[in-house]
């Protein structure tokens, strides 16, 4: 009963703190001119603040430190998240001035966040052989270089997956809520209290932001916010279900993060078949495809919420029968 109260208190605290911080984030964006201007194919007709990620970062980290304590995972989220927030803010500031921010500095900071996690011992360590017919408990430890590559690729990949998903009001934050709730239940069942606390704090922070970002949005999270959400999901998943190092734990985790993973995979396949560069921005993302078939922005988000829910439900179902 005490643990349940702690989880509820953590989630509600993150929600209300981020909710209260949102007007300050809104003011900060106007003060610094960190605004997404309505031009070209932009859906909004007024300048939109790009500072929602600041409120989510500040609120989640304060609540996480209070409820989970200043421990390794919280420290990695704080340091790596702060670095991503800084480079994301720079990227958003360039966009606000109608300039393209170079990709190399942003990618470098993403790699740095992955390296920080690895050297703080948040990493892929190996894989169980039991699902391949090996003896129960048989475990193969990865060489350091494989562990390093897998860890960094997972973290950088999720950072960009959520970033790519942030193309319609409420989509990235809503998908994060579904994924974080699923990771919370998985961690809670496995008795991973600290990881569960982080997942529920992320849920509360994203929900509070969603109150201001669901269509029609009053504020955007910016690249700073989307990269922090992706980084948080990557760290929480590695410290949660991925610690099982079995095929089912991998499948369950990928399903918990189903929408951003599905979107990225189908975009990569589509670009490969079309012979387009993988790094080149286009309108092949799933939300673009749905809207091109006549769905409104709101309808698109609702459809993708249903998809996220189904992925989460399947993840929890597979976990329950393993």
Strand partners, 259: none
Residue 137 confidence (pLDDT): 55
In a domain, 253, yes or no: yes
In a domain, 37, yes or no: no
Asked if residue 92 lies in contact with residue 47, where contact means CB atoms within 8 angstroms, the answer is: no
Tens digit of each residue's pLDDT, the chain (322 residues):
557 889 999 999 999 999 999 999 999 999 999 988 876 555 556 889 999 999 999 999 999 999 998 899 999 999 999 999 999 999 999 988 888 888 899 999 999 999 999 999 998 887 766 554 445 556 678 899 999 999 999 999 999 999 988 888 899 999 999 999 999 999 988 888 999 999 999 999 999 999 999 988 899 999 999 999 999 999 999 998 777 566 667 778 888 888 888 888 888 888 777 777 656 666 777 887 888 888 888 889 999 999 999 999 999 898 887 6
Residue 255 confidence (pLDDT): 87
Residue 175 confidence (pLDDT): 94
Residue 35 has which token pair? 């605004």
Residue 134 confidence (pLDDT): 47
Residue 189 confidence (pLDDT): 86
Q: Cα separation of 287 and 125, whole Å?
A: 35
**Token match 């050297």: residue?**
119
Q: Cα separation of 165 and 173, whole Å?
A: 9
- Total domains in the chain come to 1
Asked if residue 231 lies in contact with residue 82, where contact means CB atoms within 8 angstroms, the answer is: no
In a domain, 39, yes or no: no
Residue 110 has which token pair? 């993403």
In a domain, 40, yes or no: no
In a domain, 82, yes or no: yes
Residue 108 has which token pair? 């470098």
Domain range enclosing 228: 2-29+46-321
In a domain, 38, yes or no: no
In a domain, 188, yes or no: yes
At residue 187, φ and ψ (nearest 5 deg) are -70, -40
Q: Please tell me whether residue 35 adopts helix, strand or coil conformation.
A: strand
In a domain, 139, yes or no: yes
Residue 232 has which token pair? 């948080």
């Amino acid at each position: 009963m005490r643990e349940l109260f702690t989880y509820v208190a953590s989630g509600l605290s993150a929600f209300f703190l981020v909710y209260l911080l949102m007007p300050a984030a809104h003011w900060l964006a106007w003060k610094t001119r960190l605004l997404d201007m309505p031009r070209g194919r932009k859906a909004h007709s007024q300048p939109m603040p790009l500072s929602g990620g600041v409120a989510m970062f500040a609120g989640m980290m304060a609540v996480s430190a209070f409820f989970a304590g200043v421990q390794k995972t919280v420290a990695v989220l704080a340091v790596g998240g702060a670095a991503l927030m800084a480079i994301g803010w720079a990227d958003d500031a360039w966009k606000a001035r109608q300039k393209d921010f170079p990709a190399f500095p942003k990618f470098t900071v993403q790699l740095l966040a992955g390296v920080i996690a690895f050297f703080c011992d948040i990493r892929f360590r190996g894989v169980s052989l039991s699902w391949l017919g090996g003896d129960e408990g048989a475990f193969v430890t990865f060489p350091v270089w494989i562990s390093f590559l897998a860890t960094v690729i997972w973290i950088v990949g999720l950072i960009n997956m959520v970033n790519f998903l942030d193309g319609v009001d409420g989509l990235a934050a809503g998908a994060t809520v579904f994924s974080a709730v699923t990771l919370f239940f998985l961690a809670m069942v496995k008795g991973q209290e600290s990881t569960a606390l982080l997942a529920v704090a992320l849920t509360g922070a994203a929900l509070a932001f969603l109150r201001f970002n669901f269509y029609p949005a009053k504020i955007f999270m910016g690249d700073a916010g989307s990269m922090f959400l992706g980084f948080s999901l990557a760290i929480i998943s590695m410290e949660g279900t991925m610690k099982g190092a079995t095929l089912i734990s991998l499948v369950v985790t990928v399903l918990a993060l189903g929408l951003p993973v599905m979107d990225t995979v189908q975009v990569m396949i589509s670009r490969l078949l079309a012979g387009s560069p993988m790094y080149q921005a286009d309108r092949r993302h799933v939300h673009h495809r749905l809207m091109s078939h006549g769905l409104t922005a709101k309808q698109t988000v609702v459809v993708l919420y249903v998809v996220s829910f189904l992925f989460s439900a399947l993840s929890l179902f597979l976990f329950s029968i393993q």
